[in-house]
Amino acid sequence: IWYIIKIIISSELTVSEVWILYWVISLITLLSAYNDLWMTQSLNHFVPEFVTKKRYDKVKSILFYALFIQIFSSLIICSFFFFWADYIAENYFKTQQAIHTLKTFAFFFIWINIFQTLNNFFMAIQDTFSYKLTETIRMLFIMIFVLFIFFWNLWNLANYSYSWLIWLYIWVIITIIIFLKKYYSKYFKNEKILIEKSLIKTVSKYALLVFIWA
């Protein structure tokens, strides 16, 4: 799917426009791996242990911690990309064409982190089907939107940037629905979020050590 998308985009955009689009995607992908201080990745370590012990209150709690940090840090980075787009475009891309793409992907950054947090939860509880389903369908819909732009002669950098953003919104909503129907109502609905110093310290310590290693 990635290859098909890249072939279509590279056949219609200029070399510099393709470079701008994929440079921004690469930067967003890199930052999204670090902006939560690796708290989201710690789900893979702690969730299986707490599920085995049927401590669903702790599972709900660390999921809340991960989402809270993701959203908080994402809003800061999103604001930076959106309000400093002119400066970044001028000083690093050396072209004003990058401004709109940076602002578009600023909003992409918030939603991709929510998407990844829930997908990491699916991985942690070994629900590989839900994990692969949501990711694959997201990519399929990006490809469909790219093909729509291609066949309707709407070729430009802005429209191809939107193809990453629009379908991500849809599939974040679908991922949340899968989570709520499959897990939240069954395991977490009646559980309280624990604000325990010992739990926060344990999870944060693990996440921080892995973050430093990364």
Alpha helices in 84-184 (DSSP H): 85-88, 98-124, 128-151, 157-179
**Among 189, 71, 50, CA closest to 121:** 50
Q: What is the pLDDT of residues 155-165, one digit of tens each?
A: 788 888 888 88
Name the residue with higher pLDDT: 139 or 55: 55
Q: What is the pLDDT of residues 84-131, one digit of tens each?
A: 999 999 998 888 889 999 999 998 888 888 888 888 899 898 898 888
What is the C-alpha to C-alpha distance for residues 20 and 43, in angstroms, rounded to an integer?
A: 33
Percent over 90 (pLDDT), the chain: 27
What is the C-alpha to C-alpha distance for residues 109 and 204, in angstroms, rounded to an integer?
A: 23
What the block records as the tokens of 42 is 């710690």
Residue 56 pLDDT: 93
pTM over 0.85: no
Name the residue with higher pLDDT: 191 or 116: 191
At 54, the pLDDT band (50, 70, 90 cuts) reads very high
